[in-house]
Amino acid sequence: MWWKSLFGIYMVLIILGAFLYAPVAKGLGETTRILFFHVPCAWIATLAFLVSAVYSILYLRKQKMIHDLKASSAAQIGLVFTILATITGSIWAKQIWHSYWNWDPRESSIFILLLIYAAYFALRSAVDEQNQKARLSAVYSIIAFVTVPFLIFVVPRIVESLHPDPLINPRGKVDMDSRMSTVFFGSFVGFTALFFWMLYLKIQIARLSQFKFKPGD
């Protein structure tokens, strides 16, 4: 498949660009380079959560197992990227803030996302019957999804954030060097493509191994 090799070359270019091409930001030094991997990871964590909620709604409407499979697969990949975003963020925090963890609002919100994913899988493992598992976890996913916007407003009320925000800032624009933003958005596109490819693979694997789908299902 030609596009797989193309995608591989693209990601290699992004990694090379992150380390060699992009300049460092003022005041952050070489730690800037984690930005090109940490922020896309956090983005995928959020995107996977959204995808999972959308397929949960679809499952409740259509009652087809394929939607539950997609919802849970998206959540599984989301969990991996949430952990990656947490770890990369924590390493960066140690360098800049001299502590791995200090409950900065951004650290709190990624931790809450981690809790929600963990609760989702705890619920899935506690229900045996397939349809019931799909139904209950779909409902939980939707309820968790409507909670998250509140946390965005609530969490910063505890402490002021020190987190640098090139994407979500009050002025709503990107303050970045043009070479930096090229690599940055390139990395976004690459990670998003990676997410959907992983999702596709997970669904194919599940289809082949445990689910016996009828043609129209």
Partner 1 sequence: MGKNAFMWATKSLIIFQKDVQLEFRTRFAINAIVLFAITTLTAISFSIGPARLETTILSALLWIILFFSAMSGLSHIFVREEEQQTADTLRLVTTPLSIFLGKWLFNVVLLFALEIIIVPLYFILMNTSQSAGNNFLLFLLLLFWGSLGLATVSTIIAAIISQASARGALFAVLAFPISLPVLISSIHGTRLALEGNTFSECLPDLQILIAFFVVILTVSILTFEFIWKSN
Residues ≥6 apart with Cβ < 8 Å to 110: 42, 45, 82, 85, 86, 89
Binding-site size for partner 1 (CB under 8 A) equals 31
Q: Which three-class secondary structure state does DSSP give residue 159?
A: coil
Closest CA to 141 of 205, 48, 209, 17: 48
Please choose, out of 4-12, 43-51, 129-137, 188-196, the segment that lies near partner 1 by the rule CB under 8 A: 129-137
Can you tell me the distance from the alpha carbon of 14 to that of 183, in angstroms, rounded to the nearest whole number?
6
Which of 44, 144 has the CB closer to partner 1? 144
Site string for partner 1, 143-172 (x = CB under 8 A): xx-xx--xx-xxx-xx--------------
Which of 9, 119 has the CB closer to partner 1? 119
Which of 87, 143 has the CB closer to partner 1? 143
Q: How far apart are the first and last CA of the chain?
A: 27
Which of 132, 204 has the CB closer to partner 1? 132
- DSSP labels, 43-85: HHHHHHHHHHHHHHHHHHHH--HHHHHHHHHHHHHHHHHHHHH
Q: Is 140 in the site for partner 1 (CB under 8 A)?
A: yes
Place of tokens 């809450």: 112
Q: Is 122 in the site for partner 1 (CB under 8 A)?
A: yes
Which of 11, 57 has the CB closer to partner 1? 57
Interaction site with partner 1 (CB under 8 A):
60, 112, 115-116, 118-119, 122-123, 126-129, 131-132, 135-136, 138-140, 142-144, 146-147, 150-151, 153-155, 157-158
